[in-house]
Structures are given as structure tokens and as C-alpha cells.
Amino acid sequence: MTETTTVTGGIPAQPGSREGAYQRLAGSEEARVDAGERTGEPSGAAAGPDGPDEQGTQGGHDGYPGVIAGAGPVTRPGERATLRLRDGADGNHGGHDAHDDRPGGHDDGEEPARYAPEWLQLREPADAAARAADLLDPLRDRLAALPDREGGLVVHDLGCGTGSMGRWLAPRLDGAQHWVLHDRDPYLLHFAAVASPRSAADGSRVSVETRRGDVARLTPDALTGASLVTASALLDVLTREEIEALAAACAGAGCPALLTLSVAGRVELGPADPLDAELTEAFNAHQRRGGLLGPDAVTVACEAFAERGMTVRLHPSPWRLGPEHAALTAQWLRGWVGAAVEQRPELRERAERYLDERLAACAAGELEAVVQHSDLLALPRPSGGAS
């Protein structure tokens, strides 16, 4: 069942002893442990479905300790970090990620959250710098052509996490806006609501509504009245069927979609290392496991939106990580190498030496990384019954 909260000023407190937990997110060990308890994330990213790994590492990945829960691409076997965009056979259209149709998944409606707020906060500045601002002008033109409506634009943000997309985009758009934030984690939703912007680029009012759930019925009807659909780092953790469902829903509702920061499968590290290419290949294979599209997602999405009569614009949105991003780079490296080793265990010995050397260079300010992503803007035809 989907829970809805409308936020127009004050933020409703979360229940129980977790109330106010987000005020403690200061990067301390205490905060990281609290975040793991709060989100239900196992302390080890390689933990099984029943609990932490044997080492009990804080946010580790089976030999790669120190990874913040949810940092990077590491998943447990059988885990799907995705919104479920199609109806379930049991008719349950709210709830949580679609693990119930995979080995190792959960069907009790209360499976652990994947992303810790600390990871989402750590990556937010790099995300903001990477997003393709060149796509904003065509988006603004399309939104300006919409009929005026009371309350202004209605923006649905899928898998909103801590709300970074709203914080980036809302102040860059003119006019009143109402953001509908979708996520399955109530504490991420609380954080997103608390930290949401309250004014648009021209000073107009921005209001926020949170919906707990996984958008299991993302249909044109679900997007009735929507002016825009947004998401960050979503496409690469979807299947072909889910991307087609997303494209069909947006096209059917005449609703533009701005989908940012999809993994492109290319990484450039400086100085270069002979193992870079092998790890990249293994990581990309890991991202495609279980029918997920990984680095193929953007191509599939472009085709899906275009087949439904929408105009698609694509723009690179790379992370450019230098010495000033050392904390983010270190967390990303651990997750990236961990996923590669999970895919190809025979790489472990060489990968451990590689990771030690890379982390040392990172700490010394001697490592740079470019992690390629893509931003996609899909625009319906103006005469196609846009909402």
C-alpha cells in the first residue's frame, strides 16, 4: 500500500525513537551505525539476506571493509536495487523493491533499504556538478508550452532518495512547483522533505508531497496531471521491460522525462593501471546480472522513448573526481572493485593489491577518476496531448 504525505511547510516527524535521526548525519561512526539500523541496511554490503557478513564490518564488501551501506554498485546475490514498474502477480502494488521474483529476494513487504543517506549525501555534490545543464533549455521551453494550471508544475521524482534531484532542479525552473517524491524508505523520504527547496528560480513557491512505495503501477493514469518525471541513477538498475513501462507511462501521459546519471560503463583513471580495463569489464558484467541493463540502459531507453513518438536528447554527465573528492572516490573505488571481484572471483588477489595502491594514491591526492554517466531528456510531441 502506498503511503502519501503532503508537505507544504512543517515536516511531519517520523515515529518512534528514530525521530530526528537525520539531524545526526555528520559522518561519525555513531551516525553510520545509526544509519544502518535506521534503514535496515546490513553492515556489510556482501551480507546475506539474514544479516551482516561474518567480519561484521561497517559497510564492507567481503574483504573490502569501509564501504558505506549502499555505496557504489555492490549488491547481495539476488538483490535488485530497482523500482518495480510493472504489476505484481499478487496484486500488491505498493511496498518495496521487486526482490520477490528472484532467488534470495523477500516477499514479506519489509525488505531492507539499499541506500544509506551518508552515501547519497557524499555523492550529491559530484552529481550536481555532473548533471547536464545543457538539457535544461529545451526542457524549460517544453514546460513553458504547457497550459497554465493552478499550483504550477507537478514533478514526479522516482526513487528520490534524499531529494538531491529536487534540490538541483527546482531552483533552476521558473514558476510554482509541486514535487511528488517517490521512494520506499520512509526515512529517506523524511530527509528529502526536510531538505527540499521552498522556492523556484523566480521565487515562486515549491511544495512537496512524499509517497512511500515503488511505483509498481507507473501507468499514464498514475501520471495524470504530471508536468515532468525525473530520476537519478535509475535506468541502469532496471530491466528492458521496466524501461519500456516507464517510457510507455510518460508517453501515454504526454509527460517529459529527465533521467540523469545513468552508468555508461566507461571509467578513466589517472594514472592508468593495466588492471583498469579488466575491472571495468567485470564491473559492467556484474551490472548486467539478472536481466538488469546496466551500461546498456541508456541505449534501450532512447529506443523505448523514440518508439513511442518522443524526441530524445542525450548528453554526457561524467563524475570528474580529483583530490577534493577523495572521500567519494575512495567509497566508489571500494564498491567498483568489490562488484568486479564478485563477478570474477579469480581477480581477487590482484584486485586487492590494486585497491590498496589506488586508495593510497587517493589519500595522497594523486588519483583522478572520470566515471562516465549519461543524462536523457525525452520530450513528447507538443501536439500529442501533453498534460
| pLDDT over 70 at 366, yes or no | yes
Question: Residue holding cell 577523495?
Answer: 326
Q: Are 178 and 205 in contact (CB under 8 A)?
A: no
Element (H, E) at 243: helix 240-253
Reported confidence tier of residue 146, pLDDT bands at 50, 70, 90: confident
Q: What's the average model confidence in pLDDT over 191-203?
A: 92
Lowest mean pLDDT among 114-128, 193-207, 245-259, 339-353: 114-128
Reported confidence tier of residue 114, pLDDT bands at 50, 70, 90: low
Q: Are 169 and 258 in contact (CB under 8 A)?
A: yes
Question: Which pLDDT score, from 0 to 100, does residue 215 have?
Answer: 56
As a whole number of angstroms, the distance between CA 325 and CA 336 comes to: 16
Rg (CA), the chain: 20
Please work out, in degrees rounded to the nearest 5, the angle formed at the alpha carbon of residue 156 by the alpha carbons of 155 and 158.
Answer: 145
As a whole number of angstroms, the distance between CA 115 and CA 160 comes to: 11
Strand partners, 6: 209
Q: Are 100 and 233 in contact (CB under 8 A)?
A: no
Helix (H, G, I), strand (E, B) or coil at 270: strand
Helix (H, G, I), strand (E, B) or coil at 182: strand
As a whole number of angstroms, the distance between CA 222 and CA 178 comes to: 16
Question: Which pLDDT score, from 0 to 100, does residue 150 have?
Answer: 75
Please work out, in degrees rounded to the nearest 5, the angle formed at the alpha carbon of residue 159 by the alpha carbons of 204 and 236.
Answer: 125
> Nine-digit cell at 363?
589519500
Higher pLDDT, 381 or 354: 354
Reported confidence tier of residue 237, pLDDT bands at 50, 70, 90: confident
Reported confidence tier of residue 224, pLDDT bands at 50, 70, 90: confident
| pLDDT over 60 at 311, yes or no | yes
| pLDDT over 70 at 222, yes or no | yes
Q: Which is nearest to 380 in space by CA: 282, 307, 299, 309?
A: 309
| pLDDT over 60 at 353, yes or no | yes
> Nine-digit cell at 155?
514533478
Reported confidence tier of residue 218, pLDDT bands at 50, 70, 90: low
Q: Which is nearest to 362 in space by CA: 333, 337, 319?
A: 333
DSSP 8-state code for residue 334: H
Cis peptide before 271 (omega within 30 of 0): yes
The whole-model pTM stands at 0.75
Lowest mean pLDDT among 52-66, 158-172, 268-282, 319-333: 52-66
As a whole number of angstroms, the distance between CA 183 and CA 235 comes to: 15
Q: What's the average model confidence in pLDDT over 99-105?
A: 28
Most confident of 85-99, 143-157, 335-349: 335-349
% pLDDT > 70, the chain: 67
Question: Which pLDDT score, from 0 to 100, does residue 221 have?
Answer: 76
Average pLDDT over the chain reads 74
Lowest mean pLDDT among 130-134, 141-145, 165-169, 371-375: 141-145
% pLDDT > 90, the chain: 54
With 0-12 / 13-18 / 19 or more C-beta atoms within 10 angstroms meaning exposed / middle / buried, residue 249 is: buried
Higher pLDDT, 357 or 76: 357
Most confident of 16-30, 85-99, 324-338: 324-338
Q: Are 162 and 117 in contact (CB under 8 A)?
A: yes
Q: What's the average model confidence in pLDDT over 278-283?
A: 97
Reported confidence tier of residue 205, pLDDT bands at 50, 70, 90: very high
Question: Which pLDDT score, from 0 to 100, does residue 214 have?
Answer: 64
Question: Which pLDDT score, from 0 to 100, does residue 58 have?
Answer: 32
As a whole number of angstroms, the distance between CA 325 and CA 303 comes to: 34
